[in-house]
Amino acid sequence: MNNAMSINVGGSSGMMARMDRKLGAARDRANRTACLLDARMRTLASMQPSAESEKGAVTAEYAVVLVAATAFAAVLVAIVKSDAVRTLLTNIIKKALSVG
């Protein structure tokens, strides 16, 4: 004959105590997983460039493009003002305007 009696742990009977332990372990795992997920999401979010951090980069890119365009325009003006190009363009215009 087996006359085993369950031991009362924490005010709960045997089956309730086991369920309470399993529930507590599951809750601990869920909390740990939620914390790890939260940490991972925060890490990934901090890696993404925000619109606020991009404002200075866009302004710098525009400045570089404007400087390059200005330099290119200065080179073109210098080339067009040269005597050789001026003579060439004048001859092309005279030939186009001449009749017959």
pLDDT in tens, 18-43: 788 888 888 888 888 888 888 888 88
The closest of 45, 63, 46 to 55, measured between CA atoms, is 63
Using alpha carbons only, give the angle 20, 5, 23 rounded to the nearest 5 degrees. 5
Query: CB–CB of 10/17 below 8 Å?
Result: yes
pTM over 0.75: no
pLDDT value, residue 80: 85
Identify residue 89 by its one-letter amino acid code.
L
> Which residue positions in the chain have pLDDT lower than 70?
1-13, 48-57, 100
Query: CB–CB of 80/86 below 8 Å?
Result: yes
Query: Domain residue spans in the chain?
Result: 7-48, 56-100
